[in-house]
Amino acid sequence: MTAFNLPDVGEGLTEATIVQWRVAVGDTVAVNDVLVEIETAKSLVELSSPFAGTVTELCVAEGEEIEVGTRILEVAETAGADSGAASDSPSSSADATTQASESGGANLVGYGTVGAPSSRRSKRRAASAPQSTPAAAATPQAPNCAAKPAAAVSAPAAPPASTAPAAPSAHTTDRQRVIEGQAQMPAGTGSASVTGLPVLAKPPIRKLAKDLGVDLNRVQPSGKSGEITRQDVVLHAEQARVFHNIETPEWGDQREERHRVTGVRKQIAQNMVRSMFTAPHVTLFVDVDATRTMEYVKRLKASPDYADTKISPLLIVAKAVIWAIRRNPTTNATWTDEEYIVKNYVNLGIAAATPRGLLVPNIKDAHTLSMRQLAKALETLTITAREGKTTPTDQQQGTFTITNVGVFGVDTGTPVLMPGEVGILAFGAVRPKPWVVNGEVQVRQVTTVAASFDHRLVDGDVASRFVADVATILEEPALLLD
C-alpha cells in the first residue's frame, strides 16, 4: 500500500483545492498517468502518478481545500514495479513526484495531457478488474483516509468476474488509419468534418474550440497528419473574439448560490485589496485618433510575413507601451518603503479573462522582441491562458501591465495596479467617431487610453508624458521605426 500526499508543486504555496479526479477506485494506473487536477492560488495543476498499481482509496472529495502533505490517494502497487515512492511521509510523496517530473514524465504544471487517455485507462481497468478489485476491497483503510469518511469517495460496484478484456474499438483503429492517411470516414462512427474524415484534435484543442464556440466539424485542418491545430481554431473563430456573450443562460434553480472563496479568486481578491490600500492610485485619460494604427494593422494582416500570426491593435499598443517606458523609466519600477527599483527590462503583463478568473501572464523581456516576435508571443500567451494552461512562472516578475477592455466593447476604465508594479494601462474599444482634422470634422477611428500609476513614485508630469507618448505612437505608428 502506497500513499500519495499532496506535494509542493514548486509555487511556494501551502494549500490547494481538488478540482477533478482523473481516476476512480479500482482503476489501474501506470507511472505518469494523471491522477488529479488541483487548483492553487495561481494555476490549475495536473498531478501525475510516480508509481504503478491499483487505486484503492480517494481520501479527499472534489471541491475540498487541503494543505500540502495531506494524504489524497492510496494505491496498491503492482508487484515488482519501480515506483520510486516507498514511504507514506509527505516528503517522500513529493520527492517521488519530483523524480517523475525530472525523468520527463510527470506533469506538475498543467501543460498538455501527459497521462494515458481515458479510453486506454478504461481498457486497462476492464482487463484487470477481476483480479485487482477484490484485492482492493480487502485492503484495510489507511488511518488518514479513515479519519475523513465524509470526504472519502466510495468505490463503485465491482464488475462481474466474467468480464473480458476490452478489445480495441473500431473507432480507435479507424482513427489510427485516418492519421496515416489510409481510410475514409466509416459509416456510423460519428459526424464528418469538412474533409469527410473523423475530426482529429487533441483534448486541449477540443477545449479551446468549445470555449470559442467553434464547431470542429467545420474547421479545415492543417496538421501534418490531418489534425486540427490551435491556429486552425483561432482563425476559424475570426481572430478569437471569444468573450462576447453568445447566449443568455437561464436563472439558476436555487434562489441563492454560495461559493467558497478559493484558488485564483482568493488570490485576485487579496492582490486587489493589497494594491488599492497600499499604493495611492492616480489615473489619467486621453482620447486618441488611432486611424493610422488600424491601417497599419490591416497592412500587417495582409503581409506574407505575418500570415501565420494573429494581428490586432493590441500589438501596436504593446509596442507603444515599451517605447513609452524607455522614455519614462520610473513607470517600470517597484516601490518599497526603503527604496525603489527601476527595471531596465520589460516583462509585459497582459490581463487575460479566463473561465477561472483574471490571470495576468507576462511576456519576459518583451523589450528585446521584434514586431513579429511580439505578435507571436501575444498570440501564445492569449491561447495558453484561454486553455487554462498558464503556469505560475508565466505570472511572476511582471514589470508593467496592459488590460485590453476594448475587446468587450468598453471605452475605458480605471485599472488597478498589479502588486509590485507602479503602472498599468487600459486600452479601450476603437470606434468610428467624429474628429477634427485640419479644422474639418472627419470620421476617424478613435480610442481612449487610461493609465493608473503609483503616485508615491510616478509624479503627475511623468505619468502625463507616458500617456502622451503612448498616444503619439497610436496616432503615428511609423515612429516605431526610428
Q: What is the pLDDT of residues 405-446, one digit of tens each?
A: 998 889 999 999 999 999 999 999 999 999 999 999 999 999
Do 432 and 329 fall into the same domain? yes
In a domain, 39, yes or no: yes
- For residue 215, the domain's CATH number is 4.10.320.10
Best mean pLDDT range from 89-98, 124-133, 187-196, 411-420:
411-420
Task: Spell out the residues 6+ positions from residue 438 whose beta carbon is closer than 8 angstroms to its own.
Answer: none
> In a 3-state reduction of DSSP, which class is residue 413?
coil
Alpha-carbon torsion 77, 148, 151, 136, what sign? Answer: positive
Query: Does a structural domain hold residue 170?
Result: no
In a domain, 164, yes or no: no
Distance of alpha carbon 425 from alpha carbon 458, whole angstroms: 14
- Assess whether 332 and 390 both reside in one domain: yes
Residue 339 lies in a domain: yes
Say if residue 232 is in the same domain as residue 272.
no
Residue 143 reports pLDDT greater than 60: no
- Do 230 and 267 lie in one domain? The reply is no
Q: For the segment 44-74, what is each residue's pLDDT rounded down to a tens digit?
A: 778 888 888 899 888 888 888 888 888 888 8
Whole-angstrom Cα Rg for the chain:
26
Distance CA 45, CA 37 (A): 6
Please state, rounded to an integer, the average pLDDT across all residues of the chain. Answer: 75
Rounded to 10 deg, the angle between the 371-386 and 203-212 helix axes is 90
Q: Give the three cell numbers for residue 82.
A: 519501480
The verdict on 138 and 98 lying in the same domain is yes
Tell me, yes or no, whether 106 and 220 share the same domain.
Answer: no
pLDDT for residue 363: 96
Do both 141 and 212 map to the same domain? no
In a domain, 171, yes or no: no
DSSP type of residue 6: -
Whether 244 and 212 have beta carbons less than 8 Å apart is answered as no
pLDDT value at 171 more than 90: no
Contact of 292 with 320, CB cutoff 8 Å = no
Q: Which amino acid is at 469?
A: D
Residues 290-330: pLDDT tens digits? 999 999 999 999 998 888 888 999 999 999 999 999 999 99
Residue 448: CATH number of its domain: 3.30.559.10
DSSP 232-244: HHHHHTTTT---S
Task: Name, in order, each residue with C-beta under 8 angstroms of 44's C-beta and a sequence gap of 6 or more.
Answer: 19, 37, 38, 110, 356, 388, 389
Q: Note the pLDDT of residue 79.
A: 63
Residue listed under C-alpha cell 503612448: 470
Range of the domain at 356: 263-481
User: Does the structure show a pLDDT above 90 at 187?
Assistant: no
- How much is the pLDDT for 439? 94
Q: Classify 216 as helix, strand or coil.
A: helix
Residues with a known catalytic role: 455
Same domain, 142 and 228: no
- 218 and 306, same structural domain? no
Q: Specify if 380 maps to a domain.
A: yes
Say whether pTM exceeds 0.75.
no
Residues 136 and 211 in one domain: no
**Would you list the DSSP string of 321-342?**
HHHHHHHSGGGSEEE-SS-EEE
Q: pLDDT-based confidence at 194, cuts 50/70/90?
A: low
The pLDDT score that the predictor gives to residue 267 is 80
- What is the C-alpha to C-alpha distance for residues 471 and 289, in angstroms, rounded to an integer? 8
242: Cβ–Cβ under 8 A, 6 or more apart, which residues? 211, 212, 213, 386
pLDDT of residue 221: 85
**Stronger pLDDT, 357 or 80, i.e. the higher one:** 357
Among 190, 174, 166, which residue's Cα sits nearest to residue 118?
A: 166
Dihedral (CA of 229, 43, 315, 327) sign: negative
How many structural domains compose the chain? 3
Query: Rounded to an integer, what distance in angstroms lies between the CA atom of residue 76 and that of residue 326?
Result: 59
Answer yes or no: is 26 within a domain. yes
